[in-house]
Amino acid sequence: MNAVESEQMISESRLSRLDSKVFVIAITLTGFLLVMAIMGYFSYQRQLSIARAAGNELSRLIESDLQHNENFSDAVSMLYMRLKRGESGSVHVRQEFDRDSGIYGINLYADKPNNALEGTLQSVTPLTEDALLIAESIDMALKIENKDSRYSKMERRYFFSGDNHFIYITNKMPLSRFVFQHNNGKSHSMFTTPQSGVWLSQKLRAAPVTRNNAVTHVYIDSISNAPVITVRHPVWSRTKGGVVLGWLCFDYQQSELQEIVRSLGVSAQNNFLNVYLLDKQTNTEFRIAGKSSDGKETQVSINDRYDVIVTINTLRYYVTQKGRNDLMVLLLVALCFLAAYMICCNIIRAARERAQRDPLTGLYNRSWLHKLDQRKTKDNMTVVMIDCNNFKAINDTHGHAVGDSLLKHIGQLLRARLNSNSDYAVRMGGDEFLLVFEGSNVSQVRACMKRIESDIAMSSAKIPLTVSYGVTEVARGMSIYTAIALADTLMHNAKKDAKNPDA
């Protein structure tokens, strides 16, 4: 074997190894990305379905409130008409007046004398009989309404008179528990209670405004500084055609809308949806849940004024229970592909190891030499080329089976004399062998070869066998191919000397 053949063989081996590794990586990565893409798609579709369901349900609930408030205001109109026909009495009894704020009030929840009604009236002028009748009709409507309904429990539910003179608050709180606080700059009064915090008494002193929309624009509550929208409907007088007595209202505060969203399964801890209302007329956002508006969005319209917009934060989704399940599946898939990749690599490594071994002797074959070529340093390395003398005659005389047995035996002898941590034995083909010594100088290698010669001669007494060899030290900068070629030349010279001892 010459150096060119060795170099060509090593290049082919290196290329085959690289191709097999690239192929396994490409197949594994392609399969992994494909499966991850499919599972990610289904996970994202699940997120979209949750977002659509949340948007549709929130829109449905608000639309339901709009419809309910409209029906409720119609019921109040009918009850007011009936009470008006049989009105009697006076409401000037037990009125309270706050001089600082200029607000009149009647405690309709006190035991005496106004224990027929439940609620609180406030006015900028002394209250009239008509105001009391309206309050009574609202109370009657509340009693007719299911007491367990969410509407009858809303604290921020109130009736605002058409002339802005009085407001009727439907929550059951005695007036004696309220403390008026005047605010000249905002033309309104407010009153506080230990139970419900601060409450805004609507702008009774403000000029009347047109209230022809069922849902107001987003505005900031001057007390809580939180965004609010108001759902409202007019209460029409049945005795005077076209006259609006006032507007029955309830407020949607941010906290109340958040509670609706939480009831849909979007909690503060697992908030992967960004939910907000968009006022299309003023282009104002009323954020309900989440902090960002980025991502795929689903949109549902409310009463042609608002859009419920829901966007998805995919990263936050994967910390929810459903998201964690998706993430676990994706992680298991990734682990399966990693395991498959490692198994394939082990199979290829084992196959490559087998391909680098001579099946007869168990020694390395010539394809293994690429490892030597990859070494960055070859210092203190010595190579020995060995050839069996007159081996063809042994095959011709005793048969190839005997010859193969001798070659296998020689392989065992070589391994026995070599240091398994630093020395290597290679069957180059036929009856030729290559020994590679690392960390041994030429004199040490020659001494080892003397012992190997002796071992071969002693173990082959029945069939005499000798070997010839050439020893070459790999000099600094010398390639392995050059060293093998030099050792091969020295080995052939030794072989000639063995045939012609007298020359």
Domain residue limits, the chain:
72-265, 324-355, 364-499
Q: Where are the alpha helices (DSSP H) in 375-436?
A: 391-398, 400-417
CB atoms within 10 A of CB 419: 12
For the ranges 124-133, 410-419, 435-444, 460-469, the lowest mean pLDDT is seen at: 460-469
Residue type, 385: M
- At the topology level, CATH places domain 364-499 in Alpha-Beta Plaits (3.30.70)
Kindly report the backbone phi and psi dihedral angles of residue 324, in degrees, each rounded to the nearest multiple of 5, phi listed first: -65, -35
- Which residue spans within 99-172 are E strands per DSSP? 103-107, 120-123, 157-161, 166-169
Q: Give SS3 for 377.
A: coil
For residue 64, count other CB atoms closer than 10 A to its CB. 12
The residue assigned the tokens 């293994």 is: 368
Residue type, 255: S
Alpha-carbon 363 to chain mean position = 52
Q: How many CB atoms lie under 10 A from the CB of residue 410?
A: 25
482 pLDDT higher than 70: yes
Q: Per-residue pLDDT tens for 318-362? A: 766 666 677 787 788 778 877 777 877 787 777 777 778 888 888
Given a cut of 80, is residue 295 above it in pLDDT? no
Residue matched to tokens 């699940």: 46
User: d(Cα 301, Cα 486) in Å, to the nearest integer?
Assistant: 88
Grouping H, G, I as helix, E, B as strand and the rest as coil, residue 244 is: strand
Report the range out of 111-125, 131-145, 176-190, 453-467 with the highest average pLDDT.
131-145
Tokens of 225: 């500084």
Q: How far apart are CA 336 and CA 111, in angstroms?
A: 74
Q: Directed axis angle between helix 442-459 and helix 400-417, to 10°? A: 140
Nearest to 273 by CA among 302, 254, 256, 297: 297
Mean pLDDT of 144-158: 71
| Alpha-carbon gap, residue 192 to 89, rounded angstroms | 31
CA-based Rg of the chain, rounded to a whole angstrom? 49
Rounded Cα gap, residues 451 and 226, in angstroms: 96
Contacts for 410-414: CB closer than 8 Å, 24+ residues apart: 410/361, 410/456, 411/358, 411/360, 411/361, 411/362, 411/363, 412/361, 413/452, 413/455, 413/456, 413/459, 414/363, 414/452
What CA–CA distance (Å, rounded) separates 346 from 48?
42
Average pLDDT over residues 193-217: 54
Residue 14 confidence (pLDDT) above 50:
no
Overall size of the chain counted in residues: 503
**Longest C-alpha distance within the chain, in Å?**
153
Residues 374-401: what's their mean pLDDT?
Answer: 84
When pLDDT is averaged across residues 277-303 and rounded to a whole number, the result is 73
User: Higher-confidence residue: 192 or 408?
Assistant: 408
pLDDT at 385 over 90: yes
Amino acid at 75: A
How does the average pLDDT of the chain come out, rounded? 76
Q: Which of 61-70, 220-229, 307-316, 422-431 has the highest mean pLDDT?
A: 422-431
State how far the Cα of 205 lies from the Cα of 216, in Å rounded to an integer: 19
Lowest pLDDT segment from 119-133, 158-172, 317-331: 317-331
Could you read off the pLDDT of 419-443 as tens digits, one per residue? 888 888 999 888 899 999 988 888 9
**3-state class (DSSP) for residue 99:** coil
The SS3 of residue 107 is strand
Are the CB atoms for 91 and 128 separated by under 8 Å?
Answer: yes
* Cα angle 449, 485, 360; round to 5: 60
Lowest mean per-residue pLDDT among 62-66, 318-322, 369-373: 318-322
Yes or no: say if 247 and 230 are a contact pair by the CB < 8 Å rule: no
Cis preceding-peptide flag for 234 (omega within 30 of 0): no
pTM over cut 0.75: no
Mean pLDDT along residues 62-87: 83
Identify whether the C-beta of residue 31 lies closer than 8 Å to the C-beta of residue 337.
Answer: yes
Q: Which of 74-88, 415-429, 457-471 has the highest mean pLDDT?
A: 415-429
